[in-house]
A and B are shown apart, each in its own frame.
Chain A
Amino acid sequence: MIIRFAGFGGQGIVLSSYILGQSAVFDGKKAIQNQAYGSESRGGECRGDVIISADDIYELEPDYQDVLVAMAQPAYEKFVPLLRREGTLMIDQDLIVTDHNIEPAGITRYSISATDIAFKKYGRKIMANMVMLGYLNTVLGLVGRNAMEDAISRNVPRGSAEVNLQAFADGVTLAQQELKKR
């Protein structure tokens, strides 16, 4: 499973990819994480990639993704054409206007208001990445919840684990509601 997180610098995009990769390893799976470095990672769009597999991973930088988690318009426009046919797109619906002309055929789309929830409930937009992680992980069943909560606690700034875990749980709940509907 090849997952790309993309958005602007400062949204916790790279951290999300790191947490997902680490929790996959904690969960006994193989994983690699990669990210944009240098000038590519500053200012404009920012990306973090994760590959999770039960077997050894040979593909280091695939030219397509199975899943795109997009948190900003330019990131969506740049990366959605690289989504595999019948791949999965997850977007923050308040930040992105989708364009069917650039999307591959047959993709499954999930839209949530991650940033809005983060701001209204916690007063901090930065929590949106945790809402998104909870949502992503629950919809796709990527790694065990305990492993991911463990990885979150280890990697968020000191003293903020509780609020981050709450935001993660919000995403889990949203996903469970969505899965019941579908």
Chain B
Amino acid sequence: MAFDDNRLSYLNRLAGKRYFMLGDEACAYGAIYAGCDFIAGYPITPASEIAELLARELPRAGGICIQMEDELASIAAIIGASWTGARTMTATSGPGFSLMQENLGYAVMTETPCVVVDVQRSGPSTGQATKPAQGDMMQARWGTHGDHNIIALSPNSGQECLDLMLECFNLADEYRTPVILLMDGEIGHIRESVLMPDPEQITHKTRKAARPGEDVFGGDDLVPGMVHYGAGRNIHVTGSTHKANGMRDVTTPEVHDALIRRIYAKIDQNREKIVRVEADTDPRGPARIGVISYGASSRPARGAVLAARSEGIAVDFLRLITIWPFARTQVAEFAKDLDIILVPEMNLGQMSREIERFVDCRVQPVSKIGGIPHTIGQIHRAIREAV
């Protein structure tokens, strides 16, 4: 997909410039680079700066920003807009993300490409509203009801907030599914150096279009083509169980079975294509200790791994960039020769338990809650104790 002239000239003015900006702001620029046409949102700390920047900048780049009455309406608006062919997103934090769960399921069921950014803060409920956490890892996976798969990515720097937004929009279009950028309040609210890419280097995946007469909700491929509103063809879009042609059928078991298994399989069977991790095995040889982390926690985790290595402890490190679908193959491979895996995360072990399911060695959470990320020292001590 090429940028239109308006967007291209907007992005050409940014290309190659280095800014000192919030992770939230980098995420917003990532959306503009991703060709986002429409954002609907409702303010919430620590995500407000995303919509705030897009409210100012997206219209200049030819897009539309609407502040909705709440989070339910925000996700409803982006689902509807997506069916007109627009690339759409919303941004929120934990409490707002909870309110979006019902319609997130609607987006899954109607196979609507859209991007939801969740800048995680400390909960449950209003919790420590201004403090960062990573407590929505499982909400992202299972927050909406029913059998489904989801794609979620987690950035650990301002630059990656921008870069992963491009990937989120591409994955959403490629697999016709909602995609979640699972940020955290720490990465969203620190300022770092962010380099604006050259728009000529950006690739946008195009949504597959249904051929005339072809079914929009089934057929031979796991990911069916879409028909956009206003394209001259009547289609029916429903969150109820539907046949391949989109018409409701909530009583035939085979219809539900085929639909849900296909929606599930389109992500499950492409797991190896979707999943991205960053591995750093100890160059000096076999380690018995491994550290797996993601998002803000992965920064001090990596610092601690380097500190431990510098005092002669062999440690392997793995960072999850894709959170869902879970990197089960990569994690199992990483764990092969390890005795123990430490998992620094800003929750009480949400991803630790997921890791445990796919490895034979011991898995120990290094949990930190309370609104302040781990220090390198805290994780370094955990590594020393594991020796």
Contacts and interface: CB of A to CB of B under 8 A. Distances in A.
Interface of A: 18, 21-22, 25, 30-35, 37-40, 57-63
B373 A37 contact: no
A33 B296 CA distance: 14
A37 B45 contact: yes
A162 to B, nearest CB: 23
30 contacts: A18-B20, A18-B191, A21-B20, A21-B191, A25-B18, A25-B193, A30-B193, A31-B20, A31-B192, A32-B190, A32-B191, A33-B20, A33-B190, A34-B189, A34-B190, A34-B191, A37-B45, A37-B46, A37-B189, A38-B45, A57-B299, A58-B306, A58-B376, A59-B303, A59-B376, A60-B300, A60-B373, A61-B186, A61-B375, A63-B377
A18 B191 CA distance: 8
Nearest to B22: A33
B350 interface: no
B interface, by DSSP: helix, strand, loop or mixed? mixed
Given A59-B303, A60-B300, A31 B193 contact: yes
A106 B290 CA distance: 38
B190 A60 contact: yes
Interface in B29-54: 45-46
Chain B interface: which size bin?
A: 20 to 34
Contacts of A34: 189-191
Contacts of A62: 375
A32 B22 CA distance: 9
Contact of B192 (A32, A58, A61): A32
Given A32-B191, A37-B130, A61 B303 contact: no
A40 B130 contact: yes
B20 A25 contact: yes
Contact of B299 (A21, A33, A40, A58): A58
A interface, by DSSP: helix, strand, loop or mixed? mixed
B130 A38 contact: yes
B258 interface: no
A148 to B, nearest CB: 13
A144 B191 CA distance: 20
A61 B296 CA distance: 10
B377 A60 contact: no
A27 B190 CA distance: 19
Nearest to A63: B375
Indicate the member of A34, A37, A63 with the most B CB atoms within 10 Å.
A37
B302 A58 contact: yes
Given A37-B130, A38-B130, A58 B46 contact: no
Nearest to A51: B190
Interface in B256-314: 296, 299-300, 302-304, 306
Indicate the member of B190, B302, B376 with the most A CB atoms within 10 Å.
B190
A17 to B, nearest CB: 9
Contacts of B299: 57-60
Contacts of A39: 130
Nearest to B378: A63
Nearest to A58: B303
B299 to A, nearest CB: 5
Interface string B133-176: 00000000000000000000000000000000000000000000
A5 B49 CA distance: 23
Contacts of B373: 60-61
B250 interface: no
A150 B191 CA distance: 18
A60 B20 contact: no
